[in-house]
Structure 1
Amino acid sequence: MRMPYAARVATATVVGLAAVSLTAASSASATGSTTANRRPICNSVGFNLPATVGGTVTIPVTDHAADPDLTPISLVGVFGGAPLGSVVISDNGTAATTNDDVLIFTRTSGSRGTAHLYWTVSDGTLNAQCVATGYDLPPGNG
């Protein structure tokens, strides 16, 4: 007698490692996928704003992001920086390697303040929204 699908999965998970493979294979045939893809994760990044208008700073944001499924990630979008500056994605001189891209922030205003950059990484399927915050260094003591 053939057991219903739900009963086979429940029984298989109790048996051990060999059963896990059976469960995954059974799930794959039922759902078309063996594992669920998880969204990349990232840490907030802080950086010092350039001291002068026209000054730039390179922010290696992909050093602060990862995919829990160990899928390579890429930097796919960025916005923010106004009114203190602008930001762009740079391929870091390696166009074929997407997981080493960096943000380049350029200061466009002499005003003091804080710049927020919102960047997006992707594992090719799911995206994660991240933040980098730039701060002015405190004025010198003279």
Structure 2
Amino acid sequence: MDISLLEQGNIIFEKGLNLSKEEIAQYLDAVGDHSSVYLEEAKIPPLAILAQAMSEAMTEITLPPGSVHTSQEIELEGSVSLGTVVGCICTISSNVVRNGARFLILEFQGVVDNCLLFKAKTTLVVTEVL
């Protein structure tokens, strides 16, 4: 996907995400969360869903070497149980070039049963190759 052609409102992906118990355990290990509350209560860590959504976006958008993730915003509205499919959409919020660097802002939304679970924005800085 040519990043320079992405415009505000373009959809990067739209799909249902569902994390297994094993994927949740791997996520908790990766972030150093050694509490057992999520696995004992069969809940999905909200940031694990966002991490999966970001992974899906990076599968669709190929970033050049030197790209930097500069900021992350997230608003959480609730939690979901293991086995819940979260409808996720990722869109382009902004895509501008300033002083030889591209600022790409991705917007994410997660929905369950027509109710907003989370919304998030990720800012990426991509060095433009001239």
Per the normalisation by structure 1, the TM-score is 0.28
- More strand by percentage: 2
Structure of higher CA gyration radius: 1
> Larger RCO: Structure 1 or Structure 2 (Cα < 8 Å, ≥ 6 residues apart)?
2
TM-score (structure 2 length as normaliser): 0.30
